[in-house]
């Protein structure tokens, strides 16, 4: 599989289990790797033969900005599911990081891999 990377997407959302975390939106940083067969696009040089990663970015931003998850694991799962709704994406890797979540650590992150269900 070929890959398209969306790196360091910075978004604010309600995330956390503690009451103080749920009072205001916090920063999260998202990295997404989309697995797809890009050979046709490489040959045709036609936008219609590839993955519209701008549309995926817009979908992820809308999802995250409107979300209110307690766990970054749940947020990552929702992002992966949204990405797999797009035609041509066979698998997705999602890394969600929450900067400053742990004292003395730059960030804490959860990375998941999900694949399209086979019929």
pLDDT in tens, 85-104: 999 999 999 999 999 899 99
pLDDT value of position 117: 85
Say how far apart CA 15 and CA 25 lie, in whole Å.
7
State the Cα torsion 33-119-72-35 to the nearest 10°.
0
pLDDT of 119 reads 64
Confidence (pTM): 0.95
Sign of the dihedral through C-alpha 1, 113, 91, 4: negative
The active-site residue out of 12, 54, 57, 98 is 98
Range of the domain at 38: 2-115
When divided into structural domains, the chain yields a total of 1
Active site residue 98: yes
Q: What is the CATH number of the domain that holds 32?
A: 3.30.1130.10
* Helix, coil or strand: residue 77: helix
Tokens 């033969």 found at: 49
Residue 88 in tokens: 């041509």
């Amino acid at each position: 599989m070929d890959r398209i990377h969306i790196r360091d997407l910075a978004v604010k959302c309600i995330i956390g289990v503690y009451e103080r975390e749920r009072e205001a939106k916090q920063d999260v940083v998202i990295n997404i790797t989309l697995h797809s067969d890009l050979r046709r696009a490489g040959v045709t040089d036609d936008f219609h033969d590839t993955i519209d990663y701008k549309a995926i970015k817009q979908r992820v931003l809308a999802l995250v900005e409107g979300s209110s998850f307690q766990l970054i694991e749940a947020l990552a799962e929702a992002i992966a599911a949204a990405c797999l709704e797009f035609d041509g994406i066979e698998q997705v890797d999602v890394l969600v990081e929450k900067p400053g979540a742990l004292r003395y650590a730059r960030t804490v992150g959860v990375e998941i891999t999900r694949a399209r269900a086979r019929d």
